[in-house]
Structure 1
Amino acid sequence: MSSAYQPYPQDPSGGYGQPPQGGWDPSQRGYLQGGPVGFGEAISEGFKNIVTFHGRASRSAFWWFFIGAIIIDLIGGIIGTATHAVAIQYIIYALVAIGTVSLSVRRLHDSGKSGFWWLIGFIPLIGTITLIVFYCLSGTPGPNKYDA
């Protein structure tokens, strides 16, 4: 005996977690929507959005910025030490740190996690390992609740 009644509405787009029927192309997303970027764009957009804690950040945006932040910190440290301009060195460190925290929060958003997970990094060793795993996870396909 079959019934025309469906207990749940059927989603023609493929269901929960599936791309819409027209397809979902991650390369069509912008920077704050978690779209892929190169090294230069990751650095420039990272500093343009230095205090933006909403939206998403792709793995490429996060890791390219992370490498750039290390380079900028090293250059700032060398220049600051050579010129005895410690204040400039600390300003550079503070700007890079703020940019890294905001990008980390957006990276967590891309993998579907709350930005408050960043605080787990204060737990020695276990927190750092947990964050590295979260940063390496792929982003959630399609829109999520943290989209800009």
Structure 2
Amino acid sequence: MGGTLFGFRGRVSRLDYWIIGSAYTVTSIVGYIAFAQTAGSFNWGDIASASHDIGFVLRFLTFCFVMMMLRFSLEARRFQDRGVTGYWYFGYLVPFLNVYLLLANSLMPGTKGANRYDL
């Protein structure tokens, strides 16, 4: 399963995109809340003071990196299912284009049959 979640090859259907994306969102929210609670509260001063604990910072950065890679993998494979390169993920950095790309990945069907991104 780890290869599927973190892999950048292959395709992801719309249904899988929604299921995995929803699980990703819930996991992110729960994780960030857990880190905020570990820091002491949701007050910025408490969170800033927790940043002096190198173990906390490393755990938090590791969590952020893992979540980022999961999302990048999911989006790249969804682009590939639609027949375009996964590098379109960087289009999310462009205002207004990011809205189009999110809607396209969420709503547009993938290519019928095999495409160049099939394994």
Which TM-score tier does this pair reach, normalised by the shorter chain? 0.7 to 0.9
2:30 match: 75
Residue 86 of structure 1: CA displacement? 4.3
C-alpha RMSD of the superposition:
1.7
Work out the CA distance in 2 between the residues paired with 1:93 and 1:105.
18
Structural mapping, 1:119-138, within 5 Å:
119-124=90-95, 126-135=96-105, 136-138=107-109
Instruction: Say how many residue pairs are matched.
Output: 102
2:29 maps to amino acid: L
Residue ranges of structure 2 left out of the alignment (5+ in a row): 40-55
- CA separation of 1:86 and 1:73: change in aligned 2, threshold 3 A: farther
Q: Is the 8 A contact 1:121 1:131 kept in 2?
A: yes
2:61 match: 90
Residue 58 of structure 1: CA displacement? 0.7
2:80 match: 109
Work out the CA distance in 2 between the residues paired with 1:48 and 1:114.
19
Residue 132 of structure 1: CA displacement? 1.5
* Length-normalised TM-score, structure 2: 0.75
Residue ranges of structure 1 left out of the alignment (5+ in a row): 1-44
Structure 1 residue ranges (4+ consecutive) displaced by more than 6 angstroms after TM superposition = none
Larger-gyration structure (1/2)? 1
Q: Which has the higher helix share?
A: 2
Structural mapping, 1:1-148, within 5 Å:
45=1, 47-84=2-39, 85-124=56-95, 126-135=96-105, 136-148=107-119
Work out the CA distance in 2 between the residues paired with 1:116 and 1:53.
11
1:111 maps to amino acid: R
Work out the CA distance in 2 between the residues paired with 1:64 and 1:93.
20
Residue 109 of structure 1: CA displacement? 0.7
Identity within the alignment, %: 25
Larger deviation, residues 82-91 vs 111-120: 82-91
- CA separation of 1:97 and 1:70: change in aligned 2, threshold 3 A: same
Work out the CA distance in 2 between the residues paired with 1:87 and 1:76.
14
